[in-house]
Amino acid sequence: IGGAAPSSPARPPVRLGGFFESPFGGPPVALGGTAPTRAYEIVPTLTGRVTATDNARLGAGRRQEEVITSIIPSLAVRASSARLQGTASYAPSFNFYLNDTQPSRVDHRFFGSGTVVAIPDALFVDVRALSSLTPVNPGLNQSNTLTDRRSDLAQNYFFSVSPYYIHRFGSLATAIAGYQFSYADRQAQTLRVNPANLASPGVGGNEALTTHTGYAAVRTGEDFGRLAAEARVSGSAFTGGSAVTDGASRMLAVLETRYAVMRTVSVLLEGGYENLRFGGVTPYRVDGPVWGVGVRLDPSPNSTITLRYRRRDGFDSPQADARVQLSPRTVLFGRYQESATTTLRQTSDLLNTITVDELGNAVDSRTGAPAPELGGAGFLGVQNGLFRSRRGTASVTHFFTRNTLTLQYAHDQRSPLSVAPGQLAFSQQGNTVSLIGQRQLSGVTSAFASVGYSWNRSGTFGSRSETVNGRLGLSHRFTEQLFGSLQYQVIHRTSSVAGTAGSLAPRDATQNSLIGSLTARF
């Protein structure tokens, strides 16, 4: 990042499966592209990292100092051939603790997405996978996963594969039919079930969810002029996860239309039917119509704003999706959506809409917007059950001549709809604001800094917690194959709980860390 501002990216290609979303939560469908310039690129690296911290467990009692040595081999692969388009990276971290504040361990981080062209212009196979480590407690983010105890972390695995067939009827219409298999697994020794961070005995362990989805759609072509319409149907069957999702199902049939009133303004209408079946205590059932109205604005070639109000998952809610080129150097992204989902399914659905940019950051595959849900935002507390999720993100990025500055905001709110027998579900919400900057000091040295603030609330317990984190560092390229960095990081957390749990709530805690790393590229 740095140097001259990048040229304005072209508007993403039209994708089947809804005018503004991937097909039924499934993979985005590419309808063509330019010839690749390099078929395959494989980059292995080896990183050595040392972390020194004055409060390894982020506790308010006796502070435990720790020095952590990490060895991180990684492999990044990018394919851009006529038969395969995609990217993947795997970076396991072998961590050794000098003062034995916790056992040495291996953390797995992986991301990959790709599309195989089985039959050109007809049969495709989309494959996606993600492995991540996330805090179990609310309010924290990826910045302190190395010093957290394994019992305070969840190792997550997500995988999906979707073969689909496309047929074009000239300029009249395009049809798609496919199947998606999804697997999501969350491994955690202890799942926290209330915002006071109190472990519930007998709650937790692995939670694995398997989803089978079939989908089909037909979309009109250029022959219809200003009118565009798409009819689609999908059905999902769930196995495992918990008593809420085991045996659950979801079916949707909808017709969506768009009419261009003028070149920059389009009116949106949709209608259809849905059927939802989830178990647990107070089973959640929906059987009725779906509808939606909205408008799409295209004020410039690189700007699109979509606003809708619709009925889905048994409730009415607004939806917004925006990418606005404010200036040649400034881009605004925004999104808001509500849904009935589980925490595992929410991340699994997110996996279907993200990719990796040239810098290795997770971004939206359609707009290029950053994906703070995968690590930049404060996480909500981990719990099982079906929730009404209200999630919104917004970010503004400005490119200076030698600097980049990004302001991000993320909102995540969950209200329980159903819970597995014997477990407790509670409402909670989190908000995170972060400012991220980078400056190119020279051709081989750059400085980076970030500051973030997260605040979490639970109306069920009358609780709240705040987390402030900051980071400041330098990165330097010694040779074309050798890189190093040094950074200072601070985390401060406050918590308070009203009611009967108040006396057991954790007290304020601060953690200071110094992190140095050296990376060799082969």
pLDDT tens for each residue of 275-301: 999 999 889 999 999 999 999 999 988
| Cβ(201)–Cβ(423) below 8 Å | no
CA 329 remoteness from chain centre: 25
Overall residue count recorded for the chain in this entry = 522
Distant-in-sequence, close-in-space partners of 358: CB < 8 Å, separation ≥ 6: none
- Rounded CA separation 18/521 (Å): 41
Q: Tell me the three state secondary structure of residue 372.
A: helix
pLDDT band (50, 70, 90) for residue 206: low
Alpha carbon separation from 271 to 9, 27, 229, 516 (Å, rounded)? 33, 23, 12, 55
> Mean pLDDT across the chain, nearest whole number?
81
- Rounded CA separation 307/295 (Å): 6
Q: Tell me the three state secondary structure of residue 360.
A: coil
- Rounded CA separation 255/217 (Å): 10
| Cβ(231)–Cβ(220) below 8 Å | no
519 closest CA partner among 360, 309, 391, 413: 360
How much is the pLDDT for 37? 53
| Cβ(405)–Cβ(398) below 8 Å | yes
Q: Is the pTM of this model over 0.85?
A: no
Mean pLDDT of 130-135: 81
| Cβ(436)–Cβ(473) below 8 Å | no
367-387 pLDDT, tens digit per residue, is 666 665 554 445 677 777 899
The encoded tokens of residue 350 equal 């997110």
What number of other Cβ atoms are within 10 A of residue 254's Cβ? 23
Three state DSSP letters for 225-273 = CCEEEEEEEEEEEEEECCCCCCCCEEEEEEEEEEEEEECCEEEEEEEEE
Alpha helix locations (H) across 310-392? Answer: 343-351
Q: Tell me the three state secondary structure of residue 448.
A: strand
- Rounded CA separation 460/428 (Å): 8
19-61 pLDDT, tens digit per residue, is 434 343 333 333 333 344 568 889 999 999 999 999 887 776 6
436-454 pLDDT, tens digit per residue, is 999 999 989 999 999 989 8
Q: Tell me the three state secondary structure of residue 26.
A: coil
